[in-house]
Amino acid sequence: MNIMRTFILLAALTALFMGTGYMIGGTGGALIALMIAGAMNFVTYWKADRIVLSMHKAREVNARTSPDFYSIVAILAQRAGLPMPKVYVIDSPHPNAFATGRNPENAAVAATTGLLDMLSRDEVAAVMAHELGHIRNRDTLIMTMVATIAGAISMLANFGMIFSSDNRSNPLALAGAVLLAPFAAMIVQMAISRTREFGADRAGAEICGDPDALASALRKISDAARQVPNPVSERNPAAAQLYIVPTQVGELFSTHPATERRISALRELKRGTLKKHGFPATRTPLPG
């Protein structure tokens, strides 16, 4: 079902990209848009982690350069039954984290220095368990690909007036491409991210065994993330869906569910589902 939904969503974004190209340049524009979308899908599939990590100027760390953070990820990956991902740190005061990679065997997790400095060890573990949940649920590839295509749709529409050389183009169609295509892409992007964030919260709580720590971390970084600038998401708004918390204020145009809804779901999970499936309902501390 997850694979089917991924295929449908990517097909919808590709069709939207083609439709935008058609409104701007007719049949030729649609064909060019299809070729561009195909190339983007191919490149993003193989280079998703490098694209995102380079965008954030992330530096890889290991057991020697960042022993505590690296050991947290290693323990959690073992609990989750996942291969050890590459671990990165981003030198930024903005508190956030994300996961990327096309599959669990080629995955990476990253956290900002702002997040590592702000949270307790248990809260950091809960955040990284959430990111490992994305990897286990195989969310990372689709999230990165959707961000890439959604950004391209917005770029194509915004520059449609400039690049359209067909004097017979319908001005209303061009206006529709410029105004509606980015909005439609944003709606698809939000639908993907909101659904998957609840799933990653659930998986993260199960992996770390501490829903309270994840709820506490979400509250802390959600408040701070809106106050501390994030240059990457300001340059590329489509990147916002990659983070554990959004950078926008308000739920309507956010790529994530409201933080209070996520915290409420975690409380429900602690009271019921964790016990039902054999996960501890009280804190399970990491060794070390």
Is position 130 annotated in a ligand binding site?
yes
Distance (Å, rounded) from C-alpha 78 to C-alpha 182? 40
Query: Angle 5-97-54 (CA atoms, 0-180°, nearest 5)?
Result: 90
The residues annotated with a catalytic role in the active site are 131
Q: Which of 163, 140, 122 lies closest to 33 in space, CA to CA?
A: 163
256 annotated as ligand-binding:
no
pLDDT one-digit tens code per residue, 209-237: 999 999 999 999 998 988 898 888 777 66
> CB neighbours (10 Å) of residue 56?
22
pLDDT band (50, 70, 90) for residue 182: low
What integer pLDDT is reported at residue 282 of this predicted model? 44
What is the number of alpha carbons within 13 Å of residue 98 lying toward its C-beta? 26
If 0-12 CB within 10 Å is exposed, 13-18 middle and 19+ buried, where does residue 8 land?
exposed
- Dump pLDDT digits (tens) for 51-100: 889 989 999 999 999 999 999 999 999 999 999 999 999 999 999 999 99
Domain boundaries, the chain: 2-276
94 known member of a binding site:
no
